[in-house]
Amino acid sequence: MSGLDDTYSGAKPVADALRFDEAALERWMAENVTGFSGPITVSQFKGGQSNPTYRIDAKSGRYVLRRKPPGKLLPSAHAVDREFTVMRALGAQGFPVPRMHGLCEDDAVIGTAFYVMDFVDGRIFWDAYLPALEPDERRAIYDASNAALAQLHGIDHEAAGLAEYGRPGNYFERQIGRWTKQYKAAETDPIPAMDRLIEWLPANAPEQERTSVVHGDYRLDNMIFHPTEPKVIAVLDWELSTLGDPLADFTYQLMQWRTPKDIRSGFLGADLTALGIPTEEEYVAAYCARTGRETIPKLDFYIAYNIFRLAGIAQGVYARSLQGNASNERAKELGALVAPMADYAWSIAEKA
């Protein structure tokens, strides 16, 4: 197991600030979870999620509880009800997600809204370089990740009951507007490349040809793989999911191939052949073959857009750290990366 895997895998005692009335949860599960029998033991997953996530061990088996964090929240943030809705709908279509057991929107039970789902036993890879695996195993893991995303984008969202899950059309226009507003609200020092991107991106956005469910944060550590096989058995963390352009989703993951190791564990400059990880060209070709495309035109636009989005997110984390709301050193490190990321995104935009 790599250092990252060791840091983020498994569970720990529940942090004091995230404790809740376990007896109240047990009563709710007895009334709402088919086949449930207590008593329960509660622990908290180590992995970093914006929605606190707990492991529930009971006489009837293991479950996972995911809840809104306590305290004052932005109205649309931490929408556990949307996560529950999309996973339940996709599971019915045969997509690999945990089985949903119930949603509770009554804050009186444990203090915030939550849902309960199956515990899925498997492997989560926190380090994109997969240091514990052999080259052929790495290739197979990435191919399985590619196949699962292509499967998601092939699901008929209307037939799945998700026609109202987001607004169809104008996806990039809306997303660029959203991340521009968030970046401007968090801006600390002027970054000329960000301003150029804010002007260039909406004027050069490709027309949206297809609409699908998009995950919004599709990356390796949001998947659970089979304990021994290169197979995705559950995709997690649907907080940013909506209806949108599937190419935005795919190229968000593809950004890994265009960024250096210190930004999002990127592969830029790595010897992918020696590692056994598919090259960008191979990964694109596999996705295109699975989704009935010949190629992805304007690929540089999508990469520039996704790095711009990531820079906007990093700026927000950095701004919160200056206000004392995100105190870890990593937040300040992220702040130092915003300008280089923006410069890099602009250099890709210029090529496009």
In this structure, the number of other CB atoms found within 10 A of the CB of residue 153 comes to 22
**Interatomic CA distance for residues 239 and 74, integer angstroms:** 14
Residue 101 has what pLDDT? 96
Closest CA to 16 of 52, 68, 55: 52
pLDDT score for 50: 64
Residue 9: what pLDDT?
59
Count of beta carbons in the 10 Å neighbourhood of residue 330: 11
Q: How far apart are CA 272 and CA 279, in angstroms?
A: 6
Q: DSSP label at 18?
A: G
pLDDT score recorded for residue 19: 86
Two structure tokens written together for 262 = 């210190």
> If DSSP states are collapsed to H, E and C, what string results for 129-155?
CCCCCCHHHHHHHHHHHHHHHHHHHCC
Tell me the domains of the chain and their CATH numbers: 3-118 (3.30.200.20), 135-351 (3.90.1200.10)
**Residue 38 near residue 28 (C-beta atoms within 8 A):** no
**Centroid of chain to Cα 275:** 24
Give the distance, in angstroms, between the CA of residue 114 and the centroid of all CA atoms in the same chain.
Answer: 19
In angstroms, the CA 42 to CA 55 distance is: 6
| Residue 287: per-residue pLDDT | 98
What average pLDDT values come out for the chain (352 residues) when binned by 10 residues?
51 83 95 93 77 90 88 57 96 97 94 94 94 97 98 97 90 92 90 96 92 94 96 94 95 92 85 97 98 94 94 84 62 82 93 82
DSSP 76: T
For residue 78, which phi and psi values (nearest 5 degrees)? 55, 45
Kindly report whether the peptide bond that precedes residue 278 is cis, defined as omega within 30 degrees of 0: no
Q: Could you tell me the two tokens for 253?
A: 């993951």
